[in-house]
Structure 1
Amino acid sequence: MTNHEQERLENINNLMISEFSKTLEMFALNKTEAQLFVTLFLNDEPMTLDDMKEVLGKSKTAMSTSIRTLLDYNLVEKVFIKGARKDLYQAKKDLYEKFMKTYVNRWLEALDRQVHSLESIEKELKKLDTNGENISHKIHEAIKFHQSLEEVFQQISKYDQ
């Protein structure tokens, strides 16, 4: 492969990382996490933090933080290779399933927290010896809204199983 072809291939790879990571950012990954996932996904071989740092031009600390987030979301996995002295990571390959499960679960957890918080606010309002019907109605509407969203995401979750 000529230098010109190698350069064009590298540009295409960089464009792929940039464009694909924009989609992943919609799943609430930050830019570095999204770029790191795409890099791991495109790479056929597991990578060390140093490899990731080199490819993305970011600090090792940024790579370490991002890889922990991706591990928490179950989007990457640590790989054991006999004789390797450093930790190796690779992207899990079933993109749709992994991202949808992660995304839906994050929404369900957030919605559950919000409903509990709003219910707590509603209880506090009821303790007050005042006529707060308007705000009570608004809180109740907000709770219903969150519960409706929760039902939708639970349906999506059942569909993905």
Structure 2
Amino acid sequence: MTHPNTEFLTNKIMLEFSKTLELFGLTTLESRLFAYLYLSKEPLTLDEMSEALGKSKTSMSTSVRSLSELNLVSRVWKKGIRKDLYQANTQLFKIFMSTYIKKWIDASNRQKTSLEEIYESIDVNKDHQESKEAVQNINHRLYDIIEFHKDMENLFSNIKL
């Protein structure tokens, strides 16, 4: 029985893991880069990342910056090495879920605020009698949608890590 070599195994894991990471809004390249850094034993330079993934150093720099802003990657220092080194932060569940929950709370809050502005602008008594009932129905549905957003915001706030 033969064992797959590490490069083949790493590529296979990166491919599958990056599919999961894309569910959290990362680009394909960001997902592949994070997976590669996560699987690497040592911190890597932009040149090493570029060579490993077959992408330009500029693409690596842009992706590392995005991952750093999400607290998924950190710059590290090693004595005697003048280039910047990067490594993946290893608390996957906490980092991804915190980021994901924050995005949901922010998005839900923005939408709720916009919907509340619409709700406040509706005057159910202003229209003709025959359309008054239709406006009241829309107003009632809008209220339910706003409540849905409030419930979502509360749910994610309660599970915040």
Whether these two folds match at TM > 0.5 is yes
Instruction: State the Cα distance separating 1:128 from its structure 2 match.
Output: 9.3
- 1:114 aligns with 111
Match status 1:53 vs 2:50: yes
Q: What is the aligned-residue identity percentage?
A: 45
In 2, Cα distance between the equivalents of 1:34 and 1:126? 48
CA contact (8 A) 2:124 2:136 kept: no
TM-score by length of 2: 0.85
AA aligned to 1:79 is V
1:80–1:126 Cα change, 3 Å:
farther
Instruction: State the Cα distance separating 1:13 from its structure 2 match.
Output: 0.8
1:143–1:83 Cα change, 3 Å:
same
Instruction: State the Cα distance separating 1:77 from its structure 2 match.
Output: 0.8
Aligned-residue RMSD, C-alpha: 2.1
Gaps of 5+ in 2: none
In 2, Cα distance between the equivalents of 1:52 and 1:17? 13
In 2, Cα distance between the equivalents of 1:155 and 1:126? 35
- 2:152 aligns with 149
Instruction: Report how many residues are paired.
Output: 154
Gaps of 5+ in 1: none
In 2, Cα distance between the equivalents of 1:128 and 1:78? 60
In 2, Cα distance between the equivalents of 1:92 and 1:152? 27
1:127–1:64 Cα change, 3 Å:
farther
> What stretches of structure 1 move > 4 A for 4+ residues in a row?
none
Instruction: State the Cα distance separating 1:127 from its structure 2 match.
Output: 9.2
1:94-128 deviations in Å (ceiling 9; x for gaps) = 11111111111111111111111111222233499
Q: Which moved more, 1:117-126 or 1:40-49?
A: 117-126
Which of the pair is proportionally richer in helix?
1
In 1, Cα distance between the equivalents of 2:41 and 2:125? 62
Higher-Rg structure is: 2
In 1, Cα distance between the equivalents of 2:65 and 2:124? 43
Secondary structure (helix, strand or coil) at the match of 1:83 reads coil
TM-score by length of 1: 0.85
Instruction: State the Cα distance separating 1:54 from its structure 2 match.
Output: 1.1
- 2:121 aligns with 124
Instruction: State the Cα distance separating 1:140 from its structure 2 match.
Output: 1.5
CA contact (8 A) 2:30 2:63 kept: yes
In 1, Cα distance between the equivalents of 2:57 and 2:146? 42
Secondary structure (helix, strand or coil) at the match of 1:78 reads strand
Match status 1:85 vs 2:85: no
In 2, Cα distance between the equivalents of 1:93 and 1:108? 24
1:127–1:63 Cα change, 3 Å:
farther
1:3-55 deviations in Å (ceiling 9; x for gaps) = x97x7321111000000111111112121111111111001111122211111
